[in-house]
């Protein structure tokens, strides 16, 4: 078990609201990630190999511990320097008794100090607005490292690499309002000012990060607008949780194979016996990371284009991905959520939907039960009829994409005819956070 030193925390100077620009320092004086401060700036760079194998993290030749060690070491350094809004390691956490094993956390600091939503919740796609908060406004000391593909297919680390402004680097930064240990943000092509919408390139980058970490306790999550994303600047979240998410343990039923009916490929299944309806995408032994990423990205783009809010959980070192359309914000707007649930002030985003219940009131934490967690998440889920309609829309898009690939005579992997058990990679014991 890793011992985390608890230190007094302060609000980062570069995350405060209303900080006046100017000062004696370079650029605007805030050491931000905008053009005013980027000239001559350097940050660590982790360069990953762009291998297409889904199960690369099982290869003993890969330096599996390095990204883990880098991320955790840099995150703890920022904790020591007081860059978080509160000490997340002081938050009470417990596993709720019951079959699913929901995890409850009492996080009053996140409720009081988290940045409020600044945009409409009824539109999944909205243009980027540079006048509102975005990640180029954070201080460079909040960035842990740049995360880019290597040029020679090997893992590389440069502790002091120039920022390629023209190339718009992808970066990993701390989440100053953390939910868990090691809570970070993956921000693809940060200088391009991309709104919160998944594309093929960004999702593939997230899968590479999951694969490079190679740790079963490290998951990435995504919230669309309308599904409780709070910042309209493209980003994924990630953190360590030392127990399985309940959704990872839920049974599934295979619905279809993506790209044919032979060996390997992508298997798409429906989640069963869980309060939120959703789909699970898994890469088979013969599939590539890009095959899996394309299937999920096509599905997410379909949801975005049809204004359907959704959440994504990237699990099992990038080999298992949950896509979860939801309607809680819509129900809130229509007055269809009970006062009892509204009083909890819980906004069920990807982590809550996956079974990590971040609670804001002590009374809710002390009285947490599987029944109450199920009742909340059931309000998040689409009805069975609506879910099947959405699945039909997604599969229509995927089949069209598949047909286009075939007509272009591009290489397409075959898929396994049956469901498979998702393999779990043993995590590093020193990264396991125990309660």
Query: What residues act catalytically?
Result: 235
Place of tokens 């700036």: 41
Residue 22's alpha-carbon distances to 31, 32, 36, 88, 138, in angstroms, are 11, 12, 11, 32, 15
Contacts of 432 (CB under 8 A, 6+ apart): 1, 2, 217, 242
Place of tokens 């096509």: 298
CA angle 75, 77, 78 (to 5 degrees): 65
SS3 content of the chain, % helix, strand, coil (to 5): 30, 20, 50
Contacts of 343 (CB under 8 A, 6+ apart): none
Beta-bridge partner residues of 223:
311
Contact status, residue 211 vs residue 98, Cβ threshold 8 Å: no
Closest CA to 288 of 264, 268, 312: 264
């Amino acid at each position: 078990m890793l011992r985390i030193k608890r230190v007094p925390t302060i609000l980062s100077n570069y995350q405060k609201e209303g900080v006046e620009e100017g000062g004696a320092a370079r650029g605007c004086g805030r050491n931000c990630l905008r053009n005013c401060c980027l000239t001559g700036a350097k940050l660590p760079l982790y360069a990953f190999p762009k291998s297409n194998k889904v199960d690369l993290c099982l290869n003993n030749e890969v330096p599996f511990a390095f990204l883990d060690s880098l991320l955790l070491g840099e995150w703890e350094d920022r904790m020591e320097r007081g860059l978080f809004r509160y000490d997340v390691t002081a938050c009470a956490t417990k596993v709720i008794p019951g079959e699913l094993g929901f995890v409850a956390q009492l996080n009053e600091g996140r409720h009081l100090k988290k940045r409020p939503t600044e945009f409409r919740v009824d539109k999944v796609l909205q243009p980027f607005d540079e006048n509102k908060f975005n990640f180029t406004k954070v201080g460079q000391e909040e960035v842990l490292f740049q995360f880019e593909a290597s040029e020679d297919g090997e893992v590389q680390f440069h502790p002091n690499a120039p920022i390629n402004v023209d190339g718009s680097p992808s970066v990993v930064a701390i989440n100053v309002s953390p939910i868990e240990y090691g809570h970070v943000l993956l921000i693809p092509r940060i200088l391009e000012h991309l709104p919160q919408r998944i594309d093929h390139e960004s999702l593939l980058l997230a899968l590479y990060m999951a694969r490079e970490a190679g740790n079963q306790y490290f998951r990435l999550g995504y919230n669309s607008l309308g599904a409780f994303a709070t910042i309209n600047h493209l980003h994924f979240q990630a953190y360590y949780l030392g127990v399985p998410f309940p959704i990872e343990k839920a049974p599934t039923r295979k619905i279809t194979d993506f790209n044919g009916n032979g060996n390997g490929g992508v298997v798409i299944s429906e989640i069963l016996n869980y309060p939120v309806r959703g789909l699970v995408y898994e890469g088979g032994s013969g599939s590539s990371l890009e095959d899996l990423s394309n299937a999920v990205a096509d599905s997410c783009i379909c949801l975005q284009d049809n204004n359907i809010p959704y959440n994504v959980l990237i699990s099992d070192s990038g080999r298992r991905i949950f896509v979860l359309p939801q309607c809680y914000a819509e129900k809130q707007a229509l007055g269809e959520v009970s006062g009892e649930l509204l009083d909890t002030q819980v906004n069920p985003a990807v982590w809550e939907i996956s079974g990590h219940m971040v609670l804001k009131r002590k009374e809710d934490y002390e009285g947490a039960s599987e029944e109450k967690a199920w009742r909340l998440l059931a309000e998040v889920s689409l009805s069975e009829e609506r879910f099947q309609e959405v699945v039909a829309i997604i599969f229509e898009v995927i089949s069209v994409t598949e047909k286009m690939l075939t007509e272009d005579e591009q290489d397409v992997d075959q898929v396994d005819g049956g469901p498979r058990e998702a393999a779990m990679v043993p995590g590093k014991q020193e990264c396991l956070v125990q309660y």
